[in-house]
Amino acid sequence: MVDSMLNGGGHRDDRELVFVSMFNLEYPSAGNVCQVKFRLPSAKSPALIPAIIGNLWKVRKGRAIIVSNAKGADLLLIFLSKLLYGRRLTTFTYDLNLRVPKSRWGRLLARIRRGLLRAVDVFICMHKDVSGYTKNYGILPERCEYVPFKPNNWDLVDSVSVRDGDYVVALGASHRDYRTLLEAVKDVQMSVKIILPRARIKAHNADIGESPFPDNVQHLETHGGRVGWNQYLAESRLVVIPILADAIQPAGISVYLEAMALGKPVVITRGVSTEGILDERLAVLVPPGNPRALREAIVKVWNDEPLRRSLGAAGKEYARSLGDHKRLVADIRDVIRRKCRTEASAR
């Protein structure tokens, strides 16, 4: 019954429904997943409680819930659903983004979230190193399933003009350590472009400092949409992705896969986004928060054309082997099908 639910066709009854928020498990050429989409209002909305109650009533007919990028309200719905319906409902999250709690208020919220997360059966992750999630939120590795991400620019890779350019580019906001990058490239004889809208700095926990930028660094607030973003990547000499040392969620994965898909060499901070995924054949890995090591890596790649070609070729092969969104959806559906089957046989 679970197989027919996730592969399309076959007998259907109410128990075959999968409730999905912030993601779409349907893909035309792979058959239709029997899904019901929902999206909860914001935590400040007076409609939140009625929405949770309404969804709890609907979920009684379901087989599973999966929430992407779950917020507090989503986790509350999962917790209450699990409380009401127990093991006959299998619960999933995908792309759960968690931070190390630093303030007293943050630690209190983390304790609440830790309790809610106990109701999640399976955490579908795009990173393999979940040690930070285990330490701070009690999420054990055996409750996690790794599904590789994919290049977001798959449909553009063959239409963007690629060249070995005359600048270093750093893009993205999530847990970016631009302060270390700025220290690393000051007084270096190369042009550096940082593409980062200021509105995203606080929201995505980027650290760029407040000191004046070195003369060789240009800060760009906009990038001209998807095509412009990928053109900046394609026309760079190398791509740098500096990540904060305390990042426990995946950060920079989409950027390094986009860069690699275009054949660009990547310098990136070691951490949860690289551990067990990238090695020195695919990228130059540097320790976090170390401007000297980052500087040496950037200068080496900048000056070594054979190294750039080698990294670019290996990275391109790896990134393109991951396929497109269709493959990602299929892998997530496979996890749901397998875990639902396991839960059903255990009852």
* CB-neighbour burial class of residue 318 (10 A; exposed 0-12, middle 13-18, buried 19+): buried
Q: pLDDT band for 50, please (50, 70, 90 cuts).
A: very high
**pLDDT at res. 30:** 40
Report, at the CATH architecture level, how domain 2-149+325-346 is classified: 3-Layer(aba) Sandwich (3.40)
Structure tokens at 86: 């127990």
Taking only the tens place, the pLDDT of each residue in 219-231 is 998 777 889 999 9
Taking only the tens place, the pLDDT of each residue in 154-179 is 999 989 999 999 999 999 999 999 99
d(CA 282, CA 310): 9
Provide the β-strand partners of residue 66. 20, 92
Q: What is the pTM of this model?
A: 0.90
**pLDDT at res. 212:** 87
Backbone angles phi, psi at 114, to 5 degrees: -60, -40
CATH number for the segment(s) 167-321? 3.40.50.2000
- What is the 3 state secondary structure string of 171-212? ECCCCEEHHHHHHHHCCCCCEEEEECCHHHCCCCCCECCCCC
For 230-251, what is the mean pLDDT? 97
> Residue 325 pLDDT > 60, yes or no?
yes
**pLDDT at res. 12:** 41
**pLDDT at res. 1:** 36
For residue 40, is it left (φ>0), alpha (ψ between -120 and 50) or beta?
A: beta
Residue ranges of the chain that CATH labels 3.40.50.2000: 2-149+325-346, 167-321
Taking only the tens place, the pLDDT of each residue in 274-285 is 999 999 999 999
Ranges assigned E (strand) in the chain: 17-21, 35-37, 62-68, 90-94, 122-125, 144-146, 167-171, 191-195, 217-220, 238-241, 266-269, 284-286
